[in-house]
């Protein structure tokens, strides 16, 4: 893999030696070929188990990139469209005035149902029927398509139930059959992960965090109405066996090379597999909605299921970058092709890293490559999984 592999390995080793990371993975794809495959440090500090290229990490919202990808594959197959009303597939969802919500609204976080009931427990989140019923009973926060707000938990269940109604299969099965299986990463990219495989996961730890900042926030902030504090991402929540085993497609468990391979197969062909057409790639990675996030209060720009713009920049500065952030300090960044037929570089740059005692995300590796760090507390601006198409 040459000089790039060596440079990234040196940067990863330095992050571990400095104490900024316990362990990490870095995977880089270019034109459908993996050009960097780096690991460093340990997946479990207690046992000394090392990080290997196939070590899965639990990421909270990184998995939304895979959730959106499943939807796009099914749209490509003609099972539904972006402007299909959700009630056409899932009639019960139309209660309380939600009959106008479309698949496009769901993918752009403009559906108007960003919250779960404030008495929702972790056990409820692990029960698909309970979460589906909660969405059916939900009332709109705004008229669909008129505002945007991050649907932190509900995005995964909305897309997942749309997928289940369209195919008759749970989204984890569709992920395996249509995405991870054809890409030969079915044992590294999961929604619900079999308990027999939990021992392979990197162990999560929370970085030190000053919780007093939450105490100073007004109690009526929308973010506090979207989910109870017990569901906020933490190492303890992300280490629960029921959370790891359940289909919760607002997040996922993955290695760096698995999610990088998925993004590479969105951008182009990987060992004979391409997930969506070039035309659909351009459609889903174009800006579909921009506005102030009604839940977290920051500017946002969405394609269809992917956030637009590289972490640390604006969508205007990096309009060809797309992907998904994830609590725990991770990001994914692929680079889709241009709208013109002229050739250009296409790169998928996702990385992962294990429990870190630091919540810093600026390091040589993180600046150069999209990184995902586990073991950090959830924050609104956490890590990302992004891709980018050269202009």
Are residues 385 and 321 in contact, defined by beta-carbon separation less than 8 angstroms?
no
252-254 and 289-292 strand pairing: unpaired
Q: Is there a catalytic annotation at residue 277?
A: no
User: Crossing angle, helix 63-76 and helix 278-285, to 10 degrees?
Assistant: 130
Give the tokens for residue 382. 């956490």
Are residues 183 and 265 in contact, defined by beta-carbon separation less than 8 angstroms?
yes
Cα distance between residue 320 and residue 152, in whole Å: 24
Are residues 139 and 97 in contact, defined by beta-carbon separation less than 8 angstroms?
yes
Residue-by-residue DSSP string for 350-383 = EEEE---S-----SHHHHHS--BB-SS---TT-E
Please report which helix (H) or strand (E) contains residue 169, including its range. none
Q: List Cβ neighbours of 50 (8 Å cut-off, separation of 6 or more).
A: 23, 39, 41, 42, 43
Are residues 71 and 162 in contact, defined by beta-carbon separation less than 8 angstroms?
yes
Name the nearest CA neighbour of 355 among 333, 367, 372, 369. 372
Name the nearest CA neighbour of 13 among 4, 2, 25. 25
Catalytic-role residue among 18, 61, 196, 239 = 61
Active site residues: 61
């Amino acid at each position: 893999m040459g000089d790039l592999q060596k440079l990234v390995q040196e940067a990863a080793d330095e992050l571990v030696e400095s104490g900024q990371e316990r362990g990490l993975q870095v995977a880089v794809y270019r034109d459908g070929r993996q050009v960097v495959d780096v690991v460093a440090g340990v997946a479990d500090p207690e046992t000394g188990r090392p990080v290997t290229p196939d070590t899965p990490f639990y990421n909270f919202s990184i998995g939304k990139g895979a959730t959106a990808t499943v939807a796009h594959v099914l749209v490509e197959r003609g099972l539904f469209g972006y402007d299909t009303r959700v009630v056409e597939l899932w009639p019960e969802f139309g209660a309380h005035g939600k009959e106008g919500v479309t698949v496009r609204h769901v993918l752009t976080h403009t559906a108007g149902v960003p919250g779960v009931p404030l008495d929702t427990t972790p056990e409820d989140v692990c029960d698909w029927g309970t979460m589906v019923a909660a969405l059916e009973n939900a009332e709109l926060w705004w008229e669909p398509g008129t505002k945007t707000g991050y649907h932190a938990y509900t995005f995964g269940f909305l897309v997942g139930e749309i997928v289940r109604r369209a195919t008759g299969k749970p989204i984890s099965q569709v992920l395996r059959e249509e995405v991870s299986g054809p890409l030969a990463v079915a044992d590294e990219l999961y929604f619900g992960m079999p308990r027999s495989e939990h021992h392979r996961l990197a162990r999560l730890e929370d970085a030190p965090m000053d919780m007093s900042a939450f105490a100073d926030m007004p109690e009526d902030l929308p973010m506090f109405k979207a989910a109870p504090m017990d569901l906020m991402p933490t190492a303890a929540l992300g280490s629960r066996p029921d959370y790891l085993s359940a289909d919760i497609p607002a997040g996922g468990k993955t290695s760096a090379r698995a999610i990088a391979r998925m993004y590479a197969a969105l951008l182009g062909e990987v060992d004979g597999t391409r997930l969506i057409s070039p035309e659909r790639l351009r459609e889903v990675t174009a800006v579909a909605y921009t506005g102030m996030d009604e839940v977290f209060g920051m500017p946002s720009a969405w394609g269809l299921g992917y956030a637009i713009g590289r972490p640390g920049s604006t969508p205007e500065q990096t309009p060809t970058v797309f992907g998904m952030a994830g609590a725990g300090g991770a990001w994914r960044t692929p680079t889709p092709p241009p709208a013109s037929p002229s050739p250009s570089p296409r790169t998928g740059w996702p990385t992962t890293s294990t429990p870190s005692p630091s919540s810093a995300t600026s390091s040589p590796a993180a600046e150069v490559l999209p990184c995902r760090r586990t073991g950090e507390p959830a924050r609104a601006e956490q890590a990302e999984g992004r891709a980018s198409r050269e202009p």
